[in-house]
Amino acid sequence: MQVETAPVEALDALRGRMLPGGGFAPSAGVSEARPDATAWAVIALSLHGVEANLLAPARKSLAEVQREDGSVPIGPGPPDAFWPTPLALLAWHGREEFAEARGRAAAFLLETTGLHFEKPKTSPMGHDTALRGWPWTAGTHSWVEPTALSVMALTLEGHGKHERCLEAARLLVDRQLPGGGWNYGNTLVYGTELRPLAQATGVAASALAGRTEEASVADSLRYLEGEVERTRTPLSLSWSLLGLTAWGRRPTGAAEMIRESLGRQRPGAPYSTTNLALLLAAWHGHPARDSGRAYSR
């Protein structure tokens, strides 16, 4: 796929979020790095050809906050919020100098699960609560986005056929709404179907590409095709494009859609680092479906 040159100002703005310690600030003007922002910035800049030696301090900063159990926490405060772990794994992908960190992160994910249980007959929830995926924080139920991100990261690391990834894919299929799309993780509550969200749908569709028949997610892909025509908010647009790209259904006007979204930033209120990075990742194609060339520079 031929990729148009991304807007220089967007790439410069993202590069400008790198802090002296190597990590990336979550937004402009912030002086402390955050792992999720750092990981997404590394992923996006790698895809756009920023050389590995320039991003080495950022990758190292992720390794420095990795815990002994292999998890990467969101910060020093909440000890159980380990959801940035698959993002760090994506940022380290293909870098042999971080092989040990990658191995520990993958092992942590393979050994960690959400809180699961057999669904009572009187449960108001529509989904199968026994299927195991990944939660946002320890001791809570598994949800769509951390599960999908973990599947993508583990698959890139060669664990795509592991029992945990196979079960997590079944979880994602089970959490698909009857009318198409996904929300954060529920399907029906007291018999009422919940509304889909573009962000969650794009993440889930990305993780399921190559794992299920297209017919089984056709309604969800049609939902995303409708979303990209009418939404320009960065998270929804980025993940809609990423989900469609993973299935070979990238809209022909994707670059212009992203340009329009970038142009909607208000003076003095630029997008967060994660939002900016996701738009640039969506511009390139799909980080978890890339051949790996960008990660091996």
How far is it, in rounded angstroms, from Cα 38 to Cα 17? 9
**What is the mean predicted confidence (pLDDT) over 267-278?**
95
Q: What percent of the chain has pLDDT over 70?
A: 94
Across residues 54-71, what is the average pLDDT? 96
Rounded to the nearest 5°, which phi and psi values hold at 9? -65, -35
Position 53, amino acid: N
Of 39, 108, 94, nearest in space to 281 by CA: 39
Q: Which amino acid is at 102?
A: R
pLDDT score for 78: 65
Note the pLDDT of residue 296.
Answer: 30
- Centroid of chain to Cα 274: 10
What's CA 51's distance to the chain center, in Å?
Answer: 22
Cα–Cα distance for residue pair 240/250, rounded to 1 Å? 9
Specify whether the CB–CB gap between 261 and 216 falls below 8 A: no
Inform me whether the pLDDT recorded for 270 exceeds 70. yes
- State yes or no: pLDDT of 252 exceeds 70: yes
Average pLDDT, stretch 242-263?
A: 96
Element holding 120 (H helix, E strand): none
Look at residue 118 in the predicted model and tell me its pLDDT: 93
198 Cα distance to chain centroid: 13
Q: What is the mean pLDDT of residues 78-100?
A: 93
pLDDT digits (tens, 9 = 90+) for 90-138: 999 999 999 999 999 999 999 999 999 998 888 888 899 999 999 999 9
Indicate the burial class of 278 (C-beta count within 10 angstroms; 0-12, 13-18, 19 or more): buried
Beta bridge partners of 188: 193
Cα separations in angstroms, 267 against 4, 41, 140, 233:
26, 22, 39, 16
At 23 the pLDDT is 97
Q: pTM score, two decimals? A: 0.93
pLDDT higher than threshold 60 for residue 149: yes
- Between vectors from CA 35 to CA 236 and to CA 65, what angle results, nearest 5°? 160
Q: Smallest Cα–Cα separation from 35: which of 4, 7, 75?
A: 75
Instruction: Share the mean pLDDT of the chain.
Output: 92
The pLDDT value given to residue 297: 28
- Confidence band of 51 (pLDDT split at 50, 70, 90): confident
Out of 149-153, 176-180, 189-193, 209-213, pick the least confident: 189-193
Confidence at residue 288, expressed as pLDDT on a 0 to 100 scale: 66
DSSP state letters, 184-215 = SS--EETTEEPPP-HHHHHHHHHHHTTTS-GG
pLDDT of residue 75: 87
- The answer to whether 26 and 63 have CB atoms below 8 angstroms apart is no
Tokens linked to 251:
């809209």
- 278 pLDDT more than 50: yes
Question: Per-residue pLDDT for 159 more than 60?
Answer: yes
Instruction: Report how far apart, in Å, the C-alpha atoms of 236 and of each of 48, 70, 156, 225 are.
Output: 21, 30, 24, 12
Q: How confident is the model at residue 4 (pLDDT cuts 50, 70, 90)?
A: low
Residue 293 has pLDDT above 90, yes or no: no
Q: What percent of the chain has pLDDT over 90?
A: 82
Q: What is the pLDDT of residue 79?
A: 65
pLDDT of residue 262 exceeding 70, the answer is: yes
